[in-house]
Structure 1
Amino acid sequence: MTTAGPTDTIGPTGDPPQYGPARPSATSQKSESSQDLSQLPLFMSSLDDVPEGTNDAIEALKALAYEGEPHEVAQNFRQQGNESYRSKYWRDAIEFYTKALAVGCSVDEINGACYANRAACNLELRNYRRTNLDCAEALKINPLNVKALYRSAQACLALDKIPEAEDCVQRGLVIDKYNSSLKAIQEKITSRKEVLVKLQQANLERDRLSKAKTVALERALQVRNVLQRTTSTRPPSLPEDAVVQLQNPLDPESCLCFPVVILYPLHLQSDFIRSLSENETIYSQLGDILSPLNLPGWDEKREYTYPGVEVLVEKKKYDMHGKPSLSRIGPKASLKKVLGEGKLELIDGILTVLVVPKVRLTEFVDSWKQENPN
């Protein structure tokens, strides 16, 4: 009796005998290892990941998913959606519910559940508008769908649509007056409503104060006869908080403070005073800015040592004779006095003065006249 067993063979290279099936060639091994595992059903995240017509086995599985009556296919997708939802794969669940609805089955219970469940997924993803749209479709099918009302209330609350959220809760409690979820969201709505009322009151009070401050400031400038002019642009290099302001923002009679730009036209340099009281003088500030111990680096000849400078004002607005004006400000003249006399304009909320060395005053005035001929 002969027993079948492995065949003893010697290869052309003198290899030892091989037992069992012949080992695949190197070429066939490479072919198998290079196969895209994502094309195998076991490793696929979705059957739809494979291009249509490229894998017959996958096409068969896809077709199988749509075999049966419409309500059976829809119910199958619905169950897959529920499984994805329980695993917190919200986007996958949305896809399954969408496929279930696309089948077009005539069972309201299935369609209504898919809309309500898809709304739950969108709620988790904070797609509140889509949540409300799906809830609306679910309620068209079944106006007594408490879950749809509850989820719509959550979405409306997240969007601060308080009346709509309250309406959903009230309709839900009419259907199920003991529903604990609806009562819990009702408490949240009431709490949020109180917060929004306080925020609205705070905004109204803020607007009222802002308007009152604006009126007080306008009144203060008017009483002091301050000339004002607005141009198209505000100097971009100045801080945002460089504004004219009252010491007491609601009292027009309190002290006014102004931002001031100091120009050194002979050297094309400048300094900035964030806030200068109307009761002070320009020279009082220059005493610090141009002190012998604090001279600017660009003043190589030390021409701007205080008090050896003059302060001038160039009015951009033409006078009654149709000429630009250039005025000198005295060392003892307060800002309030200079403004009241109309020598200085408030342009775009900023006061601008010119500072030149006394020894070069004539030089500057002559130059200025040449640039501004009669």
Structure 2
Amino acid sequence: MGNDNDAQQYGPARPPAPSQTDDPTQDLSQLPLFMSSLDEVPEGTNDAIEALKALAYEGEPFEIAENFRQQGNEAYRSKYWRDAIEFYTKALAVGCTVDEINGACYANRAACNLELKNYRRTNLDCAEALKINPQNVKALYRSARACLALDKILEAEDCVLRGLAIEGSNSSLKATQEKISSRKEAIARLDQASRERERLSKAKEIALKRALETRHVIQRTTSKRPPNLPKDVIVRLRDPLDPGSSLCFPVVVLYPLELQSDFIKSLSEDETIHSQLEEILSPSNLPPWDNKGEYAYPGIDVLVEKQKYDMHGKPNLSKIGPKASLRKVLREGKLELIDGILTVLVVPKTRLAEFVGAWKQKNPN
């Protein structure tokens, strides 16, 4: 009789135990059943897979193209748009001479690109499909939708009308036609609004120009507008369309002896500059840099620097009185509008002579 060792020696062999370090899913990924694409596998890794890949290109060109087209259709139905595009592209690359297959591939690839919002590619594919068959209603419909998405209204309308001439009862084309009509009306409203804005802007510009001319405001452009001022800091009319309404100006207040400044966003021509400075330089609310209280109103003088328009072009200084309205100052030509901004100089009365002396040294006659 044999012993247990003999039974183990001559009995059926056991399968080898799996390696503890092996990934149990690694080999599965090499099986066709578990692969998402044959093209993803490097060449030479699996003979069976290589055979399947070769099989995909066996047969007549029309058979190969039709096979890829059907795979593309399956991917399309599953909403795998990019996979479908790849299959349709492979079908077209085969060089099949059957117009029906090629036309369907172009039209179907256009449908995928439409879903992906690749509107230019959609139109290119539709154009190729229509070269093959000008009666391809699907291509006309998809091109119409792509053109509509790009606001190419005339082109979209043309595609729809051509499609309805072939298939007048096509509900998809009719629905697209309604969308085109709605979008066309919306664009017309937007264009009208844009033209109205442009007209108003031009009218405001003309009114402002006329207002400045009638007030004899001296203007100069130097392209040195302070960079820290907001864009909405501009000369404006209270009624933008009425040249006779009050003009409002942005004003920069400079304190040259202290190298400091203030800003008045909008000063009406009917007001005085002193009325604003009385608030800005109130004794109870002096700026932090005025440690000595030298600028407490009314202990200040307001000066303007004006460029002479004579042969020498030398600047001069003028003092603005506390009762002089901005309109009067502008009419007398004492203050210039430079780069759309008025600038005044403020110095303490006790230091006026000091400032004027320094100014004359800087601007000798």
Q: Distance in 1 between matches of 2:208 and 2:168?
A: 57
Partner of 1:202: 193
Residues 269 and 70 (structure 1), Cα distance of their counterparts in 2 relative to 1, 3 Å cut: same
Partner of 2:8: 8
Residues 372 and 65 (structure 1), Cα distance of their counterparts in 2 relative to 1, 3 Å cut: same
Per-residue CA distance 1:125-154 (angstroms, 9 max, x = gap):
111111111111100101111011111111
Of 284, 300, 305, the match for 1:314? 305
Report the alpha carbon displacement of residue 230 of structure 1 after superposing the two structures with TM: 1.6
Matching of residue 371 in structure 1 with residue 362 in structure 2: yes
Decide whether the 8 Å contact of 1:6 with 1:19 is kept in 2.
no
Residues 37 and 290 (structure 1), Cα distance of their counterparts in 2 relative to 1, 3 Å cut: farther
Per-residue CA distance 1:160-194 (angstroms, 9 max, x = gap):
11111111111111101111111111111111111
Q: Distance in 2 between matches of 1:222 and 1:292?
A: 38
Structure 1 counterpart SS, 2:263? strand
Q: Return 249-258 or 231-240, whichever deviates more.
A: 231-240
Partner of 1:226: 217
Of 323, 326, 329, the match for 1:335? 326
Matching of residue 67 in structure 1 with residue 67 in structure 2: no
Residues 181 and 22 (structure 1), Cα distance of their counterparts in 2 relative to 1, 3 Å cut: closer
Pairing of 1:165-244 with structure 2 (within 5 A)? 165-244=156-235
Q: Distance in 2 between matches of 1:368 and 1:217?
A: 34
Q: Distance in 2 between matches of 1:241 and 1:283?
A: 24
Q: Distance in 1 between matches of 2:91 and 2:194?
A: 48
Per-residue CA distance 1:193-249 (angstroms, 9 max, x = gap):
111111111111111111011011111111111111122343221112111111111
Partner of 1:12: none
Per-residue CA distance 1:59-85 (angstroms, 9 max, x = gap):
333222111111111111111111111
Structure 2 counterpart SS, 1:272? strand
Residues 32 and 280 (structure 1), Cα distance of their counterparts in 2 relative to 1, 3 Å cut: closer
- Indicate the RMSD between aligned Cα atoms, in angstroms: 2.5
Structure 2 counterpart SS, 1:219? helix
Decide whether the 8 Å contact of 2:307 with 2:314 is kept in 1.
no
Partner of 2:14: 20
Of 269, 286, 295, the match for 2:277? 286
Structure 1 counterpart SS, 2:168? coil
Matching of residue 163 in structure 1 with residue 154 in structure 2: yes
Decide whether the 8 Å contact of 1:7 with 1:19 is kept in 2.
no
Partner of 1:250: 241
Decide whether the 8 Å contact of 1:311 with 1:330 is kept in 2.
yes
Q: Distance in 2 between matches of 1:294 and 1:187?
A: 66
Residues 262 and 72 (structure 1), Cα distance of their counterparts in 2 relative to 1, 3 Å cut: same
Residues 258 and 67 (structure 1), Cα distance of their counterparts in 2 relative to 1, 3 Å cut: same
Decide whether the 8 Å contact of 2:307 with 2:313 is kept in 1.
no
Residues 38 and 311 (structure 1), Cα distance of their counterparts in 2 relative to 1, 3 Å cut: farther
Of 97, 117, 126, the match for 2:117? 126
Report the alpha carbon displacement of residue 99 of structure 1 after superposing the two structures with TM: 0.9
Residues 5 and 84 (structure 1), Cα distance of their counterparts in 2 relative to 1, 3 Å cut: farther
Q: Distance in 2 between matches of 1:259 and 1:173?
A: 62
Of 246, 253, 261, the match for 1:262? 253
Q: Distance in 1 between matches of 2:24 and 2:194?
A: 68
Structure 2 counterpart SS, 1:121? helix
Report the alpha carbon displacement of residue 47 of structure 1 after superposing the two structures with TM: 2.6
Q: Distance in 2 between matches of 1:229 and 1:296?
A: 31
Partner of 1:273: 264
Residues 23 and 180 (structure 1), Cα distance of their counterparts in 2 relative to 1, 3 Å cut: closer
Partner of 2:37: 46
Residues 39 and 304 (structure 1), Cα distance of their counterparts in 2 relative to 1, 3 Å cut: farther
State, as a whole percentage, how many aligned pairs show the same letter: 77
Per-residue CA distance 1:71-114 (angstroms, 9 max, x = gap):
11111111111111111111111111111111110111111011
Q: Return 250-259 or 363-372, whichever deviates more.
A: 363-372
What one-letter code is carried by the residue in structure 2 that aligns with 1:21?
A: P
Structure 1 counterpart SS, 2:21? helix
Q: Unaligned 5+ residue runs, structure 1?
A: 10-17
What one-letter code is carried by the residue in structure 1 that aligns with 2:17?
A: R
What one-letter code is carried by the residue in structure 2 that aligns with 1:23?
A: A
Q: Distance in 1 between matches of 2:292 and 2:35?
A: 81
Instruction: Using structure 2 for the length normalisation, give the TM-score.
Output: 0.92
Report the alpha carbon displacement of residue 30 of structure 1 after superposing the two structures with TM: 2.9
Q: Distance in 2 between matches of 1:157 and 1:40?
A: 45
Residues 346 and 45 (structure 1), Cα distance of their counterparts in 2 relative to 1, 3 Å cut: farther
Aligned residues: 363
Partner of 2:144: 153
Structure 2 counterpart SS, 1:285? helix
